[in-house]
Amino acid sequence: MASSCFSNVDEYGFERPQNFDYQTYEEFMSEYLKVLAKRAKRWADIIGEGKSLQRSVTVKRYVRKGIPGVHRGMVWLTVSGAEELKNASPDLYQRLLDGHHSRDVAEIIKTDLPRTFPDNIFYNNIENQQHQLYNVLLAFAHQNKRVGYCQGLNYIAGVLLLVTKSEETAFWLLKILIEKILPEYYTPTMDGLLTDIDVLSELVRIKMPDVHQHVTNLGLPWAVITTKWFICLFAEVLPIESIFKVPGSLSANTIEKLRTKVAQQRAEEKQTKTVRAG
């Protein structure tokens, strides 16, 4: 195998597979680094020294394109509204860690820790990242007793922790994602999740009708195919750089726009059918 300047572990701690194509990756990165440099300059202009980040159409557009790693945690915290929640209750996270904890909840979380990104070198270290992940999930479960702890939250919190490298920041981002941006995902009826699965199905029907028809012909409900994707916010199925775009895009209210757009398109199609039928 040809030598490569790239490690067998990526910058986020994920081990590269044995069949990883280093040559193709190097060729891609040689061009992509130019894109990243331009993107970093744009972000530096917005949040340079002494500047505070303001939510705007431009910021939302930049968020969807991608945030430089050094700024991700801060940008997510600001555009999501989590920073406002944190400022309103600055000692909440520590109080939750110091409070009484359900032994059953704690044991369930501990069971899932080794299953969270087992190919990541940071989460293989029980003394460090796993313990931090445990704290974030434990605090959230006791703060939001309606949701508590559900499988899938470990992957979301794991991504947030990898990016922010801060337990408390990861906690606040997890809180606003689950409670404000994705309500009714982690409830017995999963109404919010089922709504977004319908949105995905409708988008595929509109944008990729052949794919939609193929799934229809298979007779598989979209929920069977995609529930796991949504439960962990695609953390188990997307490349890592794409995974890091999901929380940012959600924080920028992209999902709400999609819900509205699809609902409007459905209404227009129904109206057109009614007119034709008449």
Tokens coding 183: 């309500």
pLDDT of residue 169: 96
Which pLDDT band holds residue 5 (cuts at 50, 70, 90)?
A: low
More confident residue, 214 or 51: 214
Q: What is the spatial distance between Cα 236 and Cα 246, in angstroms, rounded to a whole number?
A: 12
32-41, 117-126, 166-175, 254-263, range with greatest mean pLDDT: 166-175
pLDDT of residue 2: 47
Length of the chain: 278
More confident residue, 258 or 234: 234
pLDDT of residue 232: 93
Contacts of 141 (CB under 8 A, 6+ apart): 102, 105, 109, 147, 148, 149
More confident residue, 243 or 264: 243
Mean pLDDT within 28-48:
88
- What is the CA 222 to chain-centroid distance, rounded? 20
Q: One-letter amino acid identity for 64?
A: R
What residue has token string 């299953």? 115
Q: What is the spatial distance between Cα 202 and Cα 269, in angstroms, rounded to a whole number?
A: 12
- The model's pTM is 0.85
Q: Flag whether pLDDT at 3 surpasses 60.
A: no
pLDDT of residue 227: 94
Of the ranges 48-57, 68-77, 210-219, which one carries the lowest mean pLDDT score?
48-57
Q: What is the spatial distance between Cα 92 and Cα 78, in angstroms, rounded to a whole number?
A: 18
Q: Is 274 exposed, middle or buried (0-12, 13-18, 19+ CB in 10 A)?
A: exposed
Q: Which helix (H) or strand (E) holds 116?
A: none
Q: Flag whether pLDDT at 255 surpasses 80.
A: no
What's the whole-number average pLDDT of the chain? 87
Beta partners for 15?
9
Of the ranges 115-124, 148-157, 265-274, which one carries the lowest mean pLDDT score?
265-274
Mean pLDDT within 79-83:
90
pLDDT of residue 108: 96
Q: Flag whether pLDDT at 26 surpasses 60.
A: yes
Which pLDDT band holds residue 51 (cuts at 50, 70, 90)?
A: low
123-151 pLDDT per residue, tens: 887 668 899 999 999 999 999 999 999 98
Q: Flag whether pLDDT at 239 surpasses 90.
A: no
Tokens coding 170: 């990861």
Q: What is the DSSP string of 174-243?
A: HHHIIIIISTTSSSSS-HHHHHHHHHHHHHHHHH-HHHHHHHHHHT--HHHHHHHHHHTTTTTTS-HHHH
Which pLDDT band holds residue 266 (cuts at 50, 70, 90)?
A: low
Which pLDDT band holds residue 244 (cuts at 50, 70, 90)?
A: confident
Q: Flag whether pLDDT at 1 surpasses 60.
A: no
Q: Flag whether pLDDT at 72 surpasses 50.
A: yes
